[in-house]
Amino acid sequence: MDGTAIDSLLHGFVVLLTFKNMLLMMVGIILGIFVGVLPGLGGPNGVALLLPLTFTMDPTGAIVLLSCIYWGALFGGAITSILFNIPGEAWSVATTFDGYPMAQQGRAGEALTAAFTASFFGALAAVLLITFLAPLVARFALRFGPPEFFAVYFLTFCSFVGMGKEARHKILISMLIGFLLAAVGMDTVGGSLRMTFGFSDLLRGFDFLVAVIGLFGLSEILLTMEEKLAFEGKQAKLDLKVVWRTWKSLPRYWATLIRSAIAGCWLGITPGGAIAASFMGYGLAKRFSRDPDSFGTGRIEGVLAPETAAHAAGTSALLPMLALGIPGSGTAAVLLGGLMIWGLQPGPLLFVEHADFVWGLIASMYLGNIAGLILVLATVPLFAAILRVPFPTIASSVIVLCAIGAYAVHGAVFDIWLMVLFGVVGYVFKKLNYPLAPLALALVLGDRAEDAFRQTMIASRGNLTVFWSNSLVGSITSLALLLLLWPVLSDIMKRLRKSGDGVPTGAASG
């Protein structure tokens, strides 16, 4: 099977390596980087906006252009997260935890280089997975139903509570507020309206991108205006040697990179999504670190882990879309619609009936990510130089970008007011030292987790043992409960060790 996959991939490179397709690949990457940098637009929206332009193109050229927009957006999402603490993409929230502190410490070039390189590593791992496992994915993915989906989401929530360094009650309060906000709008299972209070704009609920722009972006501006009345531009090294120095330090983090890539690929195929993968990658890195309390203060591992996991998940999400017709992400869903418009039916037969198209797309994943890495690394000094601009000069531009990003999500002025409201909420949370990440995580995954749980309960007639009905869902659920109870269990073990050490001492003194 390996030889067949390699032969097919080489044929895909032959299909891809034409002047037209290479030009479309470069244009797509450049457009994607701008899409990723602009808060609120995002990969799915950028692909959706440009999808109509591809209807007159051949399917191979069209999918190369659109997929490369996606790769570029994946790279670009880290830029504003690190430089301004404004996640350009939903999956870049976890990158802000350590990326922004690194930029504040004058290590913007190092943080950007680490983010881009980790993004490439995660995407490469996912593309290798797609290349060799595409024929086998149907058997695995078909095992996932509502119980397995809920178990994955539950694992993500539990890992955040069990591994968080903040006070447990603050994490839970933040997460519960996120769940409450996620419940606003149309109940997708029962069809009823919940907590709309007569506002028609709330029928669709709170959009995650609008919320995250306010929570992380606008709140940071408000906090800076209060705490730093004398605004000063941050210094950033512009020497490209920082790229080489950062690369030399990366081998020591090989375990973090591999662990995050595996978690990301798994959540991309299942699909848990790039957002859940980024948070899980960050949580795993902190859990296995010798100094977990230093996370959030500018650890390079805190940038490598979420970026690797997010890109591995975002790329591997195309695997179930191609092999089964099951989109693993928002962008994959948009691309799925494009395939059908072009007269292609995703599924196992796609690899047989349209081999040129499939393997040309897979080849573009390799070249697109290599070209994207080179392009963003070449412009690291340009992005790092933004920090030298005095804050008053850029503050108004950042606020305008936030407003444009919020408006671009649904084309509604109401979303701008929601962004302002979330900005105030984020400001209050930061002043009270409440973590924002659990709120953002619950807001984006809460409705999906609720749907999966309710569908499971309906099918099982309320029997909770369904979450241990097979080895797959049982192992995920058990691991989630272990992570949730880990602080309590570790505390009990510490007390037992202390009491055990005290017995001989007491006996000797007696």
Least confident of 10-14, 161-165, 210-214, 409-413: 161-165
CA distance 187 to 100: 36
On whether the CB atoms of residues 64 and 28 are closer than 8 A, the answer is yes
- Per-residue model confidence (pLDDT) at position 508: 45
Q: Which of 172-176, 352-356, 389-393 has the highest mean pLDDT?
A: 172-176
Q: What is the dihedral of CA 215, 221, 223, 227, to 10 degrees?
A: 170
pLDDT at 507: 47
Mean of the pLDDT values across residues 378-398? 67
More confident residue, 344 or 306: 306
Amino acid symbol at 196: T
User: What is the Cα–Cα distance from 211 to 87, expressed in whole angstroms?
Assistant: 11
Q: Is 193 left (phi over 0), alpha (psi -120 to 50) or beta?
A: beta
How many structural domains does the chain have?
Answer: 1
Residue, of 378 and 143, whose pLDDT is higher: 378
Q: How far is CA 450 from CA 146, 172, 239, in A?
A: 10, 17, 49
Question: Would you call 193 helix, strand, or coil by DSSP?
Answer: strand
pLDDT band at 9 (very low <50, low <70, confident <90, very high): confident
Quick: pLDDT tens for 283-321. Answer: 888 888 888 878 888 888 889 999 999 888 888 878 777
Across 136-140, 169-173, 259-263, which has the greatest mean pLDDT?
Answer: 259-263
Please give the Cα distance from 235 to 227 (Å, whole number). 19
**Model confidence over 256-277: pLDDT tens digits?**
899 999 988 888 776 566 777 8
Residue 306 located in a structural domain = yes
CA distances from 48 to 51, 54, 410 (A): 5, 11, 13
Among the listed residues 215, 260, 169, the one whose alpha carbon sits nearest the alpha carbon of residue 425:
215
The tokens for 170 are 């603050």
Residue 252 belongs to a domain: yes
Nearest to 310 by CA among 48, 118, 79: 118
In a domain, residue 508? The reply is no
Q: Which tokens sit at 49?
A: 């906006």
Q: Per the omega criterion (within 30 degrees of 0), is the bond before 327 cis?
A: no
**Token pair recorded at residue 17:** 């390596």
Q: Tell whether 241 is covered by a domain.
A: yes
Cα–Cα distance measured from residue 242 to residue 384, given in angstroms and rounded to the nearest whole number:
11
**Per-residue confidence (pLDDT) for residue 121, from 0 to 100:** 92
| Residue position matching structure tokens 């007491």 | 506
Is the pLDDT assigned to residue 46 strictly greater than 50? yes
Joined tokens for residue 409: 């999500």
Q: Which of 78, 99, 89 minimizes the C-alpha distance to 376?
A: 78
Q: Give backbone dihedrals phi and psi of 186, rounded to 5 degrees, phi first.
A: -80, 130
Above pLDDT 90, what percent of the chain? Answer: 3
In a domain, 185, yes or no: yes
| Domain contains 381 | yes
- For residue 183, the SS3 value is coil
- Answer yes or no: is 423 within a domain: yes
Q: What local confidence, expressed as pLDDT, does residue 233 receive? A: 43
Question: Which helix or strand (DSSP H or E) is residue 194 part of?
Answer: strand 193-194
Two tokens, residue 221:
């501006």
pLDDT of 496 over the 50 cut: yes
* Collapsed DSSP state (helix, strand, coil) of residue 76: helix
327, part of any domain:
yes
pLDDT given for residue 163 in this prediction: 63
Residue with tokens 């989401």: 153
Residue 186, classed as helix, strand or coil, is: strand
CA separation for the pair 356, 44 (Å, rounded): 25
Per residue in 320-341, pLDDT (tens digit) is 777 766 665 666 766 776 777 7
Residue 241 has a pLDDT of 78
Residue 506 has pLDDT above 60, yes or no: no
pLDDT digits (tens, 9 = 90+) for 399-450: 887 787 778 767 788 888 988 999 899 889 888 888 877 887 788 778 878 8
Structure tokens at 122: 């995660």
119-135 pLDDT, tens digit per residue, is: 899 989 988 888 877 66
pTM of the model: 0.65
Instruction: Inform me whether the pLDDT recorded for 348 exceeds 70.
Output: no
Q: How confident is the model at residue 232 (pLDDT cuts 50, 70, 90)?
A: very low
CB-CB contact of 302 with 113 (8 Å): no
Mean pLDDT (the chain, rounded): 78
Query: Pick the residue with more confidence: 199 or 140?
Result: 199
pLDDT at 229: 46
Q: Give the pLDDT score at 258.
A: 92
Nearest one of 125, 95, 391 to 259, comparing CA atoms = 125
How far apart, in whole angstroms, are the C-alpha atoms of residue 337 and residue 334? 5
Q: How far apart are CA 129 and CA 111, in angstroms?
A: 27
Taking residues 23-40, report their average pLDDT: 78
Cα–Cα dist 168/172, whole Å: 6
For the stretch 73-101, pLDDT in tens is: 777 778 878 887 777 666 777 888 888 88
Whose tokens are 């009823």? That residue is 192
Q: Domain containing 398: what range?
A: 2-494
